[in-house]
Structures are given as C-alpha cells and as structure tokens.
Amino acid sequence: MGGQPGEHPAVLIGSIFYSNHKIVKDPIRGEFSKGDAENLIKHQEEMSDKTGSPSFLDVVGSTSEALVKYVDFVAGITDLPFLVDGSNATVRINAMKHAMEIGLQNRVVYNSINWSIRHDEIDALKELRVKSAIVIAFNPKNPWPEGRIEVLRGTEERKGLLKLAKDAGIKNTLVDTAVTDLVGLGLASKAVYLVKNKFGVPAGCAPANAITTWNRGKGEFGRHGYDVCIASSCSMVQMAGANLIMYGPIEWAGLVFPPCAMIDGLIAYTARKLGTKTASKDHPLYKIF
C-alpha cells in the first residue's frame, strides 16, 4: 500500500457485520449466518483476484462478545488483513487483545484512533503492541481540508493524532480523511491529496458514509442511477490519490471493484509514461483490460 501513483493499486475495504447487516441474527451475542458471511467474503476475494484490486475487510461489532466471534470467524476463513472496528474503545480493545493473543498481529488494523481517544486507549494499544491503525482525521472545529491537516499535526493546545498514534506504538498508520456528508466527500478527497503530500502516509476515506445517507439518490434515480453514484464516489477519491477506500457494505464488491481496478489501471499506465513501474504484475493494469 502507498508509494507513488501507479505503483500500488488502492486497497478496497468492504464492511461486514455492520449495524443492521442482514446476515447478523444477534448483534449483541454475535450470532450470524456463517454460510452467508463466507459467501460474501469469498465474493470479495473473487472480485479482487479477477480485477487485481487488493482488498481488506472492515469487521464491525457492537459488543466485545460479538466482535471477538467475528474476528475468530474471519481469521479462520480468509487470509485477508482486516480492520477491527468496534462501537466503542472497550469493544475494540477487547477484540484487539483477543486478535493479538491468537497471533493475528500482522493481519489486524485497529479502527480507529480519533479525536476523542483517551490515554487509557493509547496505553492499551501500546501494551498490546498493535502494529497498524486507522487514524481518523476528523476535526470538529474545522471541517475544511486544512482542519484535517491540523488535527493530524496538532496544535499548541492539543497533540496531533499522528503523534498519538506513534505514542501508541503504531508502526503502520493509515489515515481516513473523514467524510461528513455527501458534499463533504469532495473535502475528504482534497484532504487525501494534502495528507499524502504533507505527511507521506497512506490515506483514503469512506465514500459509503456519505452515499448511504443520500436518501434522494436512493429514491429518485432508481437502483441503476444510485449504483453508478456509489461507484463514482469511490472513483473520485481514487483520483485524488486514495490508497485505501472503505467502499461500504461488502455486498457492493461487485459494483466497486471493476471501476476502481479500471481507474488504477489507467493511473498506472499514465504513471508508466512518467517512469513509475507497478510494484507487481498482479496490478489491475495487467488484469482488468
């Protein structure tokens, strides 16, 4: 992940066991349809193999009990890296502790370090020796792209989130530039470019956060129109240089992988003329066309 444009394709991250996910029967105890979950994960893997766009999973849980069960299931069924994404710090830390205990150090990404993080959460991450984390560049006091830079860098009054991640022992920091609403997607895209430029860390965002709240888009333009908007929103952040795209429900894999792979292929081909080579032959440039 990362590098110069055209070197590595964007990592596409689908969410599973999210709030109201129909495969989840009991979100408190973490009961779900294993067959359906396996099919969804395998489908994302197939799309990834077919297109050359790499993938992660965003494993979401609302309780420690549930998230630990999801972590066990996902770890057993796929070799993909995955984000451990809980509804609060306690849930996330408990699940991370379990993940570290069963040897998933190199596969799990803590989701997330954000504006509201407390010292005990930082201490816990350090103690667990968590290697990778998403850092959310959300700045409630300044919603513009520069505000995201400020919250990462820090101010005189407040330590920056990148420094906090370092304090927590994080080696691999992935910045999520925080989509606030649909129009905020443009701001988050610009922030992706700025973050990479200023800090040299991989960055991306979650266009789905905006698209799923767009009721008019869902209702007025029909399924086809809405689907094209989902794919376009991912393509937009990709063109801003996103290294990671949290594309939304894993069910959208079929919608998102082809256009994102195509665009990564186009970026790589253009970059080739500037002297940048793809990092491997698994790149979409060699698979999608």
Partner 1 sequence: MVDEKDILRKLAEDVILCNPEGAREDAKRAIELGISAYEAIDEGLIKGMTVVGEKYESKEYFVPDLMAATAALNAAFEVLKPYLKVERAEVTGKVVIGCIKGNIQDIGKNIVAIMLTMTGFKVYDVGPDVPPVKFIDAAKELNADIIAVSVTMLETIPYLRELENGLRKAGIRDNVKLLVGGKALSEDVAKDVGADAYGKDAREAVEKAIMLLVNKKI
Find the shortest distance in angstroms from Cβ 19 to partner 1: 10
Q: Is 184 in the site for partner 1 (CB under 8 A)?
A: yes
Looking at beta carbons only, is 2 or 143 nearer to partner 1? 143
The nearer residue to partner 1, 183 or 274, going by C-beta atoms, is: 183
Stretch that binds partner 1, among 30-38, 76-84, 126-134, 182-190 (CB under 8 A): 182-190
Q: How far apart are CA 154 and CA 39, in angstroms?
A: 43
Asked if 140 is part of the footprint of partner 1 (rule: CB under 8 A), the reply reads: yes
Residue 142 found at the interface with partner 1 (CB under 8 A): yes
Phi, psi of 182 (to 5 degrees): -60, -45
Q: Which stretch binds partner 1 (CB under 8 A): 21-29, 47-55, 141-149, 281-289?
A: 141-149
Q: Is the separation of the CB atoms in 202 and 247 below 8 Å?
A: no
Q: If we measure between CA atoms, which residue out of 143, 149, 268 comes closest to residue 201?
A: 149
Neighbour-count burial of 287, counting CB atoms closer than 10 A to its CB (0-12 exposed, 13-18 middle, 19+ buried): middle
Question: Does residue 266 sit in helix, strand or coil?
Answer: helix
Identify the residue among 50, 78, 131, 143 touching partner 1 (CB under 8 A).
Answer: 143
Q: Segment contacting partner 1 (CB under 8 A): 46-54, 71-79, 179-187, 237-245?
A: 179-187
Residue 258 binds to partner 1 (criterion: CB under 8 A): no
Which H or E element spans position 70? Answer: helix 64-77
Q: If phi over 0 gives left and psi between -120 and 50 gives alpha, with beta otherwise, what is residue 17?
A: left
User: Prior bond to 19 cis, omega within 30?
Assistant: no
Q: Smallest gap, in angstroms, from Cβ of residue 224 to partner 1?
A: 24
* By the rule CB under 8 A, 171 interacts with partner 1: no
User: Which residues here bind partner 1, judged by CB under 8 A?
Assistant: 140-144, 180-184, 187
